[in-house]
């Protein structure tokens, strides 16, 4: 139930963002693509490095549920510990690619409205596995 509530809040936030968000690219000319050299120069600034440190703190918070999740799958879903550990590991492994895509796609997508409206692509497949047991 808690996962459903938190998921519903995320979906609701996405709907509000899509509905109330303003498309800044509609005003004036479309921005030019950012070069990789420019991205590296921005990433090396102090505010970005502080944000990276803050993100590392979130990673520590992620370690708690990841260590607990395989036991949950074993007790509540009836998976063996080996299967539950594998599923938990796959979730973390897929997270690597989602972070990379989340950084690369905004650099390639020209429309802010298209970028904001793409959240169902992740929500729908991600929530498909949370059916009743």
pTM, two decimal places: 0.43
Give the pLDDT confidence of 12-34 residue by residue, as tens digits.
877 787 777 766 555 566 667 78
What's the CA gap between 86 and 80, in Å, rounded?
10
Question: Count of alpha carbons within 13 Å of 49, Cβ hemisphere only?
Answer: 5
Per-residue pLDDT for 7 more than 70?
Answer: no
Residue 76 exposed, middle or buried by CB count within 10 Å (0-12, 13-18, 19+): exposed
Q: Which residue has the higher pLDDT, 116 or 125?
A: 116
Could you read off the pLDDT of 89-118 as tens digits, one per residue?
887 788 788 778 777 777 777 666 766 676
């Amino acid at each position: 139930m808690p996962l459903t509530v938190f998921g519903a809040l995320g979906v609701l936030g996405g709907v509000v963002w899509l509905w109330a968000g303003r498309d800044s690219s509609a005003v004036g000319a479309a921005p030019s693509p950012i070069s990789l050299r420019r991205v590296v120069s921005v990433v090396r600034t102090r505010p970005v490095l502080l944000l990276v440190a803050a993100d590392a703190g979130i990673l520590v918070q992620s370690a708690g549920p990841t260590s607990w999740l395989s036991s949950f799958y074993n007790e509540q879903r009836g998976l063996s510990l080996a299967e539950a550990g594998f599923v938990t590991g796959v979730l973390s492994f897929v997270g690597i690619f989602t972070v990379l895509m989340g950084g690369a796609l905004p650099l390639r997508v020209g429309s802010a409205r298209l970028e904001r409206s793409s959240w169902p692509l992740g929500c729908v497949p991600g929530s498909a596995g949370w059916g009743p047991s």
